[in-house]
Structure 1
Amino acid sequence: MPFARLATATTPTCHIGLGLAAVGRPGYINLGRDGDLGEDRSVEALRTRTHELLDAAYAQGVRYFDVARSYGRSEEFLAQWLAANPGADDVVVGSKWGYTYTADWSTDAERHEVKDHTAATYERQRAETDALLGDRLDLYQIHSLTPDSPALTDKELHARLAEAAAGGLTIGFSTSGPRQADTVRAALAVTVDGEPLFRTVQSTYNILEHSAAPALAEAHDAGLTVIVKEGMANGRLAGPNAPEALRSIAAEEGLGCDAVALAWILRRPWVGVVLSGAATLTQLSSNLHAPAVDLDADRMTRLATLTEEPRAYWERRAQLPWH
């Protein structure tokens, strides 16, 4: 698996990846976005910002980059950076299919993305991804599986994904919603010719919402690489939005709330990669301090008070505006 390259990395940031959801398109649901991006959200402005983030991340040891068909021009921006940095051949690239970006570079579109997990969408988006990333693509994931997704039972789709795996592509899936654990377990049961189809799982997991933890540990034990997304809860655990318990520990450490929040995730032995969703160089630098955070038993107990009921968490997330 390509993720073996991360397991053997020697840098302290080897288990932190960079996701480009926040900078591959002008609109997203992260809090504080106006201050992060400012008014200029042209294609060129976000291309430049993305390349600066990729430069800084690579220089500091980050080796996994995460994009998706629905993240605006994220695949395009990453492909251009890879072409300009031929020495970065140790980078692991993951993308996702299953959502189509429909906002047409607008922050106030009626719909920003449309979900479709059919085999036809896979074929179309796989061709689109191949046109941009070609043989630099290592991992291709089904985007945001839920228990009712047809992708869990579509045998034709499974056969096509298995064919891609036989050609050297790692096949994975991501999850969303309050029933992530159910989704993970259902996906672990998917096989083709008696062999497990999926080799990675990417799930939302953070201080506020960690109900998927047992299922993710099971996935790790089954041999899957676990990737954690939304470790900052779309900005709810960052800076002025962070709850008091998190802010007090960050102050004690002399580091950002984001570093503490990501450190909490990195303590899990089953976590392979946790994604930084940084939109600025300052945020990225702060995120990368996570391995230095000391979370003793007392601090872990204080953070445990922040847990939210999964349905309440996801209902609040659904209410976050695109901006």
Structure 2
Amino acid sequence: MPLARLASVTTPTAHLGLGLAAVGRPGYITLGRDRDLPAERTVEALRERTHQLLDAAYAQGVRYIDAARSYGRSEEFLADWLRSRPGLDDVVVGSKWGYTYTAGWSTDAERHEVKDHSLATYERQRAETDALLGDRLDLYQIHSVTPDSPALTDRELHARLAEAAARGVTVGFSTSGPAQADAIRAALAVTVDGEPLFGAVQSTYNVLETSAGPALAEAHDAGLTVIVKEGMANGRLAEPQAPEALRALARETGLGCDAVALAFVLRRPWAGVVLSGAATVGQLTSNLHAPAVDLDDEQLERLTSLAEEPRAYWERRGQLPWH
């Protein structure tokens, strides 16, 4: 599978990837965007910021880049970067379909994205992704599968996804919400002609939301590449709003709260790729110190104690404003 190429990368940051959710569109729910992004969030300003991040990530050993149809113009920005820097054949590209971006490059739209896991949406968005990324696409994921998603039972959709897999694209899915574990286990049971359909799963996992851990371990054991998103809990684990226990550990290690939080995720044996959602090069550089954080069992236990009840976590996430 294309993601297996990550295993051959020998830099310390091989298992850290860069997600473009925060810079592909002017509005998102991550905290601190007023501070992190240019005052004028024009298309060209965010294209330039995305390219700066991609250059810095590649220079520091990052080889997996994550986009989505609903991340504004993230696929376009990534495609431009790849075209302008030929020869980067070791970059692994993932994207997602299932949400349509509807904000019209505004931060105060009534709806920023619309979810639809139908076959018609897959066909439309796959054509859109192909037009931008073409044969650079390695992984195509169903965006935010939940246990009641029709994507888990639509056999015609499964057949089309299997066709894509036969042509060399890894088919995956991402999850969100308090029932991530149920969605993961349901997806593991999806087969086409007796063969498992999915080769990768991307889920939210961080010190505040650990409920998907056992199911992600099962997915890893079943042969799926596990990608972790929202390791920083949409900014809740960054200074200055990070919990005191995390800030104390950061002081002990001499590194940032972000590096400690991501190190916690990197210690999971099933975590294949852990995404940085950095919006600035400084944030990215700090995130990439995570592999250097050596947490002992007592420190890990202190972080584990910060976990919230899943429904409470997702309710709070749902209240974060788009800004």
- TM above 0.5: yes
Query: Which residue in the other structure is 1:170 paired with?
Result: 170
Correspondence 1:153 to 2:146: no
Partners of 2:306 and 2:191 in 1: how far apart? 37
Partners of 1:205 and 1:181 in 2: how far apart? 11
Correspondence 1:108 to 2:118: no
Query: Which residue in the other structure is 1:79 paired with?
Result: 79
Partners of 1:303 and 1:170 in 2: how far apart? 33
Query: Which residue in the other structure is 2:192 paired with?
Result: 192
* Superposed displacement of residue 215, structure 1: 0.4
Correspondence 1:233 to 2:237: no
* Superposed displacement of residue 297, structure 1: 1.2
Q: Map of 1:174-253 to 2, 5 A cutoff?
A: 174-253=174-253
Q: Which amino acid aligns with 1:79?
A: A
Partners of 1:135 and 1:87 in 2: how far apart? 14
Q: Which amino acid aligns with 1:111?
A: R
* Superposed displacement of residue 38, structure 1: 3.7
SS at match of 2:12: coil
- TM, length-normalised to structure 1: 0.99
Partners of 2:117 and 2:304 in 1: how far apart? 35
Query: Which residue in the other structure is 1:99 paired with?
Result: 99
* Superposed displacement of residue 221, structure 1: 0.2
Query: Which residue in the other structure is 1:309 paired with?
Result: 309
* Superposed displacement of residue 301, structure 1: 1.6
For the Cα contact (< 8 Å) 2:22–2:278, is it kept in 1? Answer: yes
Partners of 2:251 and 2:51 in 1: how far apart? 31
Q: CA RMSD in A?
A: 0.5
Query: Which residue in the other structure is 1:64 paired with?
Result: 64
Identity across matched positions, percent: 82
Partners of 2:293 and 2:206 in 1: how far apart? 16
Partners of 1:151 and 1:279 in 2: how far apart? 31
Correspondence 1:10 to 2:10: yes
Partners of 1:165 and 1:4 in 2: how far apart? 15
Query: Which residue in the other structure is 2:134 paired with?
Result: 134
For the Cα contact (< 8 Å) 2:102–2:112, is it kept in 1? Answer: yes
Partners of 2:190 and 2:60 in 1: how far apart? 37
Q: Which amino acid aligns with 2:46?
A: L
Correspondence 1:50 to 2:55: no
Correspondence 1:22 to 2:48: no
For the Cα contact (< 8 Å) 2:2–2:169, is it kept in 1? Answer: no
- TM, length-normalised to structure 2: 0.99
* Superposed displacement of residue 298, structure 1: 1.4
Partners of 1:37 and 1:172 in 2: how far apart? 30
SS at match of 1:187: helix
Partners of 2:148 and 2:321 in 1: how far apart? 25
* Superposed displacement of residue 87, structure 1: 1.7
Partners of 1:7 and 1:183 in 2: how far apart? 27
Query: Which residue in the other structure is 1:120 paired with?
Result: 120
SS at match of 2:302: helix
Partners of 1:300 and 1:159 in 2: how far apart? 43
- Give the ranges of 4+ consecutive aligned residues of structure 1 lying more than 4 Å apart after TM superposition: none
Consecutive unaligned residues in structure 2, runs of 5 or more? none
Q: Which amino acid aligns with 2:124?
A: R
Partners of 2:225 and 2:184 in 1: how far apart? 12
* Superposed displacement of residue 317, structure 1: 0.2
* Superposed displacement of residue 254, structure 1: 1.1
SS at match of 1:240: coil
Query: Which residue in the other structure is 1:282 paired with?
Result: 282
Deviations along 1:193-214, whole A, 9 cap, x unmatched?
A: 0000000000000000010100
SS at match of 1:241: coil
